[in-house]
């Protein structure tokens, strides 16, 4: 990261030094090094931006391009080039470096928010034609998923536009044919073992999204020429008469020639490595790597879930309370199957239920119970997540230590399923806690302040202990009425902020105990952990479209997050995106 951020400053220093040395007798060969600074700034084809801010600030990079190309041109113009071959090698590398740097700046512009929005509007206008048939398009996409086919780069670019907005909307074809989607899902997906290829399909799309935002992939689809320039320049430099450009000292003469050869060979390696990496692209020029590691066998993201424990974070003896665990295929399959279940029943509001649909499915909570209140829309989401996180840990460690005498499962498959749901509940619990409290997703108070980690620690402590530690029942009832008002639906930002502040003075642990006790009252252990897992899956559906574009954008450059895959699943399998105020449901 430091090397990336310091590249421009180092380039200015080097070019300034070369400009001084170029005018000294016997140092003209040093001017040959100036074009390699531009080659370095142009970078590999596999990286143009370190973060989304680079794309947003593409004008700053354009200014650097103009300035540094002008300085490099001044350096090479000052030197005399008596040998035509040496001059030709210099010109080739100068043109190559300038083009590389210009390509990088152009890719930053193409990935800028303004350009992405413009492309999205143009592509949307193309869909609004008399020939557009949403039902046929939806069926075609589903067939591509099940057959392991990829629709193409243009479609991939279009489908990932919604990652550039904080409030993603449903796709036009999903909304238009919402009445047909349940039947299509029932016929093609529910009993089809190939339905789990959905994650591979999404991996292809996210790979395209990454390439369009962080690499020179958009330009490499059109042409590729850079494999030939550096070798030609090396051959010309080797054949050139360099005697007139060298320092009289034999040691300095040898050093200048050696450095020049190193720079030329380095440029060749840079281009060759970029070309080799492009072999893994879906439509790359070189495909040799596909014979070594097939596309279906390659990892397209980290395949890990971050685990953040609120309990451990409050223990001074525990230093590392954020870890990562593999996401098992069986658990990702359950999440997909639950989404398909909602789709076949046209329950498109699963992204807004936060566990209410699971309670209704399992018939586990009466109105006004702790389970019902803790998942209601009137509760601040961070409070709801923390209540269920603590309750899940309570039940997990209790059954692990003491066993569960309330129900004994004799069926091996049933025992295995129960254990899987139990482990899945805890893993999703820690993952969503990581998203909300560690990453600041949908945590209004945790996202404020100059030191997010310190702010999260304060919020955590207050939520766990309760800001009001007095025994005034009236005071607690007042706070409870503010935070757990099940009749309060939505509100503007000021109201949400007031509810979030009230949550700081809402003692979470006692209410987590109430939730845990109501879970204990469910006699069937399989039923209990099935309910808990389904609640956490719904909370994952709730979180995915509300993380914000910046979260998905940033984390895709560091391996990706599972919640991003869930967002894409909800986007392509039906109109699952939450409906904004004033909009009508599909």
Q: How many domains does the chain have?
A: 2
For the stretch 268-274, contacts whose Cβ atoms lie closer than 8 Å and that sit 24 or more positions apart, written own/partner, are 268/230, 268/231, 268/234, 270/39, 270/44, 270/230, 271/226, 271/227, 271/229, 271/230, 272/227, 273/44, 274/44, 274/45, 274/46, 274/226
Closest to 441 (Cα-Cα) out of 576, 310, 548: 548
Q: Is 124 a domain residue?
A: no
pLDDT of residue 234: 74
pLDDT of residue 426: 92
- Residues 413 and 438 occupy one common structural domain: yes
Q: Is 208 a domain residue?
A: no
Domain that holds residue 97: 2-111+217-291
Q: Is 150 a domain residue?
A: no
- Residues 376 and 405 occupy one common structural domain: yes
Closest to 373 (Cα-Cα) out of 502, 508, 478: 508
Residue-level pLDDT, tens digit, the chain, 586 residues: 555 666 777 777 888 878 777 666 666 677 888 888 888 888 777 778 877 888 888 999 999 999 999 989 988 888 777 778 888 888 888 888 898 899 899 999 988 888 887 877 776 666 655 555 666 777 788 888 888 777 665 555 555 666 667 778 787 777 888 888 899 899 888 888 889 888 888 888 888 888 888 888 878 765 555 556 677 777 777 777 655 555 455 555 677 788 888 888 888 887 777 766 655 444 443 333 333 344 444 555 667 888 877 766 655 444 445 677 888 888 999 999 999 999 999 999 999 988 999 998 887 777 778 888 888 877 888 889 989 998 998 888 776 444 444 444 556 778 888 999 999 999 999 999 999 988 888 765 444 444 445 544 554 555 555 544 444 444 434 433 443 343 344 445 555 445 555 554 456 778 888 898 898 888 888 899 999 999 999 999 999 999 988 888 888 877 788 999 999 899 889 899 887 644 444 5
Counting Cα atoms < 13 Å in the Cβ hemisphere of 342 gives 28
- Residues 474 and 348 occupy one common structural domain: yes
C-alpha 328/C-alpha 421 separation (Å) is 12
Beta bridge partners of 543: none
> What count of other Cβ atoms lies within 10 Å of the Cβ of residue 421?
23
Are residues 260 and 237 in contact, defined by beta-carbon separation less than 8 angstroms?
yes
Q: Is 200 a domain residue?
A: no
Write out the two tokens for 82: 């008596």
- Residues 427 and 448 occupy one common structural domain: yes
pLDDT of residue 415: 86
- Residues 331 and 236 occupy one common structural domain: no
- Residues 404 and 348 occupy one common structural domain: yes
pLDDT of residue 245: 52
Q: Is 221 a domain residue?
A: yes
Are residues 94 and 38 in contact, defined by beta-carbon separation less than 8 angstroms?
yes
Q: Is 309 a domain residue?
A: yes
pLDDT of residue 481: 42
- Residues 446 and 316 occupy one common structural domain: yes
Instruction: Among 291, 320, 350, identify where a domain stops.
Output: 291
Calculate the alpha carbon distances from 268 to 29, 69, 228, 287, 365 in Å. Answer: 20, 21, 9, 20, 67
C-alpha 192/C-alpha 206 separation (Å) is 24
Are residues 343 and 330 in contact, defined by beta-carbon separation less than 8 angstroms?
no
Calculate the alpha carbon distances from 125 to 94, 117, 137, 303, 574 in Å. Answer: 42, 12, 16, 36, 21
C-alpha 308/C-alpha 340 separation (Å) is 28
**Total count of residues recorded for the chain:** 586
- Residues 260 and 325 occupy one common structural domain: no
Closest to 76 (Cα-Cα) out of 33, 25, 135, 122: 33
Instruction: Among 291, 319, 350, identify where a domain stops.
Output: 291
pLDDT of residue 26: 61
C-alpha 391/C-alpha 369 separation (Å) is 15
pLDDT of residue 28: 65
Backbone dihedral angles phi then psi of residue 484, each to the nearest 5 degrees: -105, 45
Q: Is 183 a domain residue?
A: no
- Residues 98 and 37 occupy one common structural domain: yes
Are residues 324 and 339 in contact, defined by beta-carbon separation less than 8 angstroms?
no
* Crossing angle (nearest 10°) for helices 7-21 and 34-42: 170
The 10 Å CB-count burial string (b at 16+, else e) for 241-256 is: ebeebbbeeeeebeeb
Write out the two tokens for 230: 């550096």
- Residues 441 and 491 occupy one common structural domain: yes
Counting Cα atoms < 13 Å in the Cβ hemisphere of 391 gives 29
**This prediction's pTM:** 0.78
- Residues 246 and 360 occupy one common structural domain: no
> What count of other Cβ atoms lies within 10 Å of the Cβ of residue 527?
17
- Residues 456 and 484 occupy one common structural domain: yes
Q: Is 532 a domain residue?
A: yes
């Amino acid at each position: 990261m430091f090397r990336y951020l310091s590249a421009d400053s180092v380039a200015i220093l080097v070019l300034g030094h070369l400009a001084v040395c170029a005018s000294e007798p016997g140092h003209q060969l040093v001017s040959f090094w100036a074009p390699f600074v531009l080659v370095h700034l142009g970078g590999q084809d596999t990286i143009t931006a370190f973060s989304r801010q680079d794309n947003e600030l593409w004008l700053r990079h354009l200014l650097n391009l103009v300035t540094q190309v002008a300085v490099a041109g001044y350096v090479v113009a000052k030197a005399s080039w008596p040998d035509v071959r040496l001059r030709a090698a210099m010109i080739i590398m100068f043109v190559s470096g300038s083009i590389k740097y210009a390509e990088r700046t152009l890719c930053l512009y193409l990935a800028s928010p303004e350009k992405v929005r413009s492309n999205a509007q143009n592509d949307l206008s193309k869909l609004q034609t008399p020939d557009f048939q949403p039902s046929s398009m939806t069926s075609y996409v589903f067939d591509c998923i099940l057959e392991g086919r990829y629709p193409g780069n243009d479609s991939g670019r279009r489908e990932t536009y919604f990652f550039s907005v904080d409030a993603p909307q449903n796709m036009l074809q999903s909304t238009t044919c919402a009445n047909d989607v349940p039947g299509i899902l029932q016929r093609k997906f529910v009993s089809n073992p190939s339905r789990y290829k959905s994650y591979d399909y999404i991996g292809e799309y996210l790979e395209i999204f990454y390439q369009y935002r962080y690499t020179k992939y958009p330009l490499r689809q059109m042409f590729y020429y850079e494999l030939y320039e550096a070798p030609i320049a090396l051959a010309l430099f080797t054949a050139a008469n360099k005697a007139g450009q060298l320092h009289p000292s034999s040691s300095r003469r040898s050093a200048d020639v050696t450095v020049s050869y190193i720079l030329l060979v380095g440029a060749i390696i840079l281009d060759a490595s970029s070309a080799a990496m492009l072999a893994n692209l879906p439509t790359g020029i070189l495909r040799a790597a596909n014979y070594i590691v097939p596309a279906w066998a390659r990892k397209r993201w980290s395949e890990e879930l971050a685990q953040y424990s609120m309990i451990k974070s409050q223990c001074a003896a525990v230093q590392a309370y954020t870890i990562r665990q593999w996401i098992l295929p069986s658990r990702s399959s359950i999440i997909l199957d639950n989404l398909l279940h909602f789709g076949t029943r046209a329950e498109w509001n699963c992204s807004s239920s936060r566990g209410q649909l699971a309670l209704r499915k399992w018939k586990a909570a009466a109105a006004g119970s702790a389970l019902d209140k803790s998942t209601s829309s009137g509760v601040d989401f961070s409070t709801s997540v923390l209540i269920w996180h603590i309750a899940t840990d309570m039940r997990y460690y209790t059954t692990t230590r003491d066993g569960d005498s309330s129900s004994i499962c004799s069926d091996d498959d049933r025992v295995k399923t129960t254990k899987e749901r139990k482990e899945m509940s805890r893993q999703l619990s820690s993952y969503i806690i990581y998203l909300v409290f560690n990453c600041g997703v949908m945590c209004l108070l945790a996202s404020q302040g100059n030191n997010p980690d310190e702010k999260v620690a304060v919020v955590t402590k207050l939520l766990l202990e309760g800001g009001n530690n007095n025994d005034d029942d009236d005071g607690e009832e007042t706070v409870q009425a503010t935070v757990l008002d099940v009749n309060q639906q939505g509100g503007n930002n000021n109201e949400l902020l007031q509810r979030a502040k009230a949550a700081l003075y809402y003692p979470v642990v006692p209410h987590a105990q109430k939730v845990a006790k109501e879970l204990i009252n469910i006699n069937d252990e399989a039923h209990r952990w099935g309910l808990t897992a389904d609640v956490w899956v719904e909370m994952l559906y709730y979180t995915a479209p509300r993380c914000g574009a910046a979260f998905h954008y940033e984390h895709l450059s560091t391996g990706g997050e599972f919640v991003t895959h869930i967002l894409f699943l909800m986007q392509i399998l039906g109109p699952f995106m939450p409906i904004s105020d004033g909009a009508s449901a599909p």
